[in-house]
A and B are shown apart, each in its own frame.
Chain A
């Protein structure tokens, strides 16, 4: 606490006094004149007493200090001295306090020559300065409000002639929880003016060094309210008050200075004050002419119904006729929604917003303004069934986000609507179905290439796994995860087979048929050999009732053939065949499902059979073809010969 002077200071005072006494004139010499109560002088046209009450002085903290210890210009001078004396320099002893004061508003005013500016003696007195904690001290806690109030009360010259933003300071303070405790209940530890403003370093609240600057106010308040974060945890992460004070509301935004009460909302900046103007439907901004009308009914039904205007529009100043004229910034939602705000700023949307990109969506573009509704409210734009339309505002082909997009996903809205998720959500009304935000997240939207993105290949399985947990578990044990599959090529994740926005039911014909091409993208050779077998050929004709990749290898639980848990391991392969061929035996499982007749080392039987058959074909066709071709000219000749004697032939037959 700033009121408490360190112990060393109190010990130092007598020592200083003794040192000075050795050389100086005796106090009695001074009191010879100044004990006279009638001793006066004229200062600036006013008559002031020059009397020093010896008793009071002796009882003061400076009682043992000789007069010349303070009135240093009398040192070694003849008495009685000429008038007037130089002003006492307290800083000769109280160096630190002097410096602080000089830098403060008060000190600056003195430097400017402001006659109303307080000096040390204006608060502390002169010859009768009592120890700070003595009840008789002019700056004892319970007196502080009056000390400050001398100048800072309604009607005083300071309040009338100088720019002081707060009004009724003393009255308000005395009615506040602090003032009531101090003045009515005599609780001397209650905050007084100096608890917040400090005793000597009084600075304007806009000065970053000020104890009441937004940046510092939390530290100032927490001097006493040390556990305050715990009370406010629901809305604000406590440590942010100090770390990101520029973003968060300061204590005084809610608990207005000088009026702090347990319940403040009904006082001060009440919504009704705002609605006096903003309830008018024709209210428009003088610049730009946008409507400034606030629909009270809409607000009353919003999720912020219990939030005061000034909690969001935090720069209002209740001392103004138009309290909102001091507003310089837009509403900062992250004041309360700190975590969400942090996510947003790290997202593509937030980064564009930070760059002041005109296309960047802010909070209100998705959530609305005064009518903001909960996610669970069906009329909210962020209700699951409304999300595709919400995102489509920018991401539909041709709209502002889509035209900037350079990736490979197109017609995403239409494709999503036709996908299993889209149909589930929009046709079946299944609100737990994945919408845009389930995969892309609501606030941490990042491009696929960003490793922190929920749709980055590294994160896709866990993103899908949020709903499809069982599948993710199987997938994570398969060869298609980097932990298991050893390859330089990029391993597939969910969307490589299922696509991103066109996801179909896995049991539809179309999906079953495309999946072979999907596997074949990487497993080129093995897919080719598959198409050489009966299974492959029937699939290629467009029929699904035959073994496809996943029928034998599994879909998400594909494991290496050597893995005992593989569908194709020695233990399981016969059972796998038996799914379609009930009579399958181990010999039957020896069928080469990926046979090729182009590999004499691996499949000599097939190789030589194929080339044997090819030889037979070529041989037969060559012999037959040559025979036929040789025959052709003779046959033509015969035909001509038969045709020439046409009439007799007619007769004959």
Chain B
């Protein structure tokens, strides 16, 4: 891809210079939660990794940049609290939407836009495999693809596992009133390795699936703007598009795009997050492959 054409494609997707309305994929709350979550996740990753890879020189430099191990500890706990609050807000949002938009849990969880795995997801997965090896067309993905659902539930799992072990490590004296002392050691291993899994997965697989796959390269800012061009929407989530187009309610979901300055700010934030993430991946690889003792 030439530099010029790449920029043309970017500006086309961002809607720069065009006043065409765009499809609104994410609600304002979800967008805010994702931004907060990025900040919190990055903070957790940076502060946590300094401890996990304390034997690298990078770790001690970073630890000092972060204000020392005690300050890093406060940041880590505050970020963890934010993460749990985000989790709580999302759950309460689900309750609110069930009441407002669906009425019953069944309607919400069995509809076409459900986050729960469905038979279609299995079909899409098999279809994707075939498509990957050239044995079939690209599956017509719906609102939430199976990998997006995987990422979504991975967060549930992560928050439960890392959150619970993190609490033990936060209040060891309290937990050892009941649990034996070695549980703290076990919690340390689980907390640290699960965090490594989360960080590693988000900064490689999630980054690729969402931002780095060539058709989205270098990043997909839909999670910040909430908006995506209709054409891109039609191409990316054909099943959802079809339903909306058939019902004739697509117009209801179209909104004005953000002005360029907002897009630039969003991209700056996106770049920061991406770079931080990659830096952490490089650091992890360095620590685990080259500096491991």
Interface residues of A, Cβ cutoff 8 Å to B: 528, 531, 533-534, 536-538, 540-543, 545-546, 581-585, 587-592, 595, 597, 603, 605-606, 609-610, 613-614, 616-617, 620-621, 624-625, 627-628, 630-636, 638-639, 642-643, 646, 649-650, 652-653
Contacts and interface: CB of A to CB of B under 8 A. Distances in A.
B50 interface: yes
Contact of A583 (B15, B132, B173, B184): B173
B228 to A, nearest CB: 11
B172 A588 contact: yes
B54 A540 contact: yes
B232 to A, nearest CB: 8
B51 A534 contact: yes
28 contacts: A537-B51, A540-B55, A540-B59, A541-B50, A542-B60, A543-B63, A543-B69, A543-B70, A581-B173, A584-B173, A587-B177, A588-B172, A588-B173, A588-B176, A595-B185, A603-B182, A606-B182, A606-B185, A606-B186, A609-B186, A609-B189, A613-B194, A616-B193, A617-B196, A625-B204, A627-B147, A630-B129, A652-B231
Interface string B10-36: 001101001010000000000000000
Given A591-B181, A606-B185, A630 B132 contact: yes
A648 B184 CA distance: 62
Contacts of B293: 528
Contact of B186 (A605, A617, A639): A605
B137 to A, nearest CB: 10
A534 B188 contact: yes
B138 to A, nearest CB: 7
Interface residues of B, number: 62
- Which of B12, B128, B204, B214 neighbours the largest number of chain A CB atoms within 10 Å of its CB? B214
B89 interface: no
Contacts of A591: 172, 176, 181-182, 184-185
A650 B52 CA distance: 48
Contacts of A614: 193
Interface in B127-153: 128-129, 131-133, 138, 147
A587 B181 contact: yes
B197 interface: yes
Interface in B165-185: 169, 172-174, 176-182, 184-185
Contact of A541 (B60, B196, B213): B60
B238 interface: no
A624 B208 CA distance: 10
B223 interface: no
Contacts of B173: 581-585, 588
Given A620-B197, A630-B132, 9 more contacts: A540-B54, A543-B63, A588-B172, A613-B189, A621-B197, A631-B213, A638-B215, A639-B214, A643-B5
A636 B188 CA distance: 41
A411 to B, nearest CB: 26
A526 to B, nearest CB: 15
Nearest to B229: A653
Nearest to B63: A541
Contacts, number: 162
Contacts of A633: 132
B204 A624 contact: yes
A592 B5 CA distance: 59
A642 B215 contact: yes
A377 B128 CA distance: 94
B131 A634 contact: yes
B262 interface: no
A628 B128 CA distance: 11
Contacts of B69: 538, 541, 543, 545-546
A631 B132 contact: yes
A634 B205 CA distance: 16
Contacts of A603: 182, 185
B112 interface: no
A10 B101 CA distance: 151
B239 interface: no
A520 to B, nearest CB: 12
B205 A543 contact: no
Given A597-B189, A638-B215, A650-B12, A617 B200 contact: yes
B271 to A, nearest CB: 20
B1 interface: yes
B190 interface: yes
B203 to A, nearest CB: 11
B201 A624 contact: yes
Given A541-B54, A590-B181, A595-B182, A653 B20 contact: yes
Nearest to A584: B173
A64 B196 CA distance: 129
A137 B186 CA distance: 113
B148 to A, nearest CB: 13
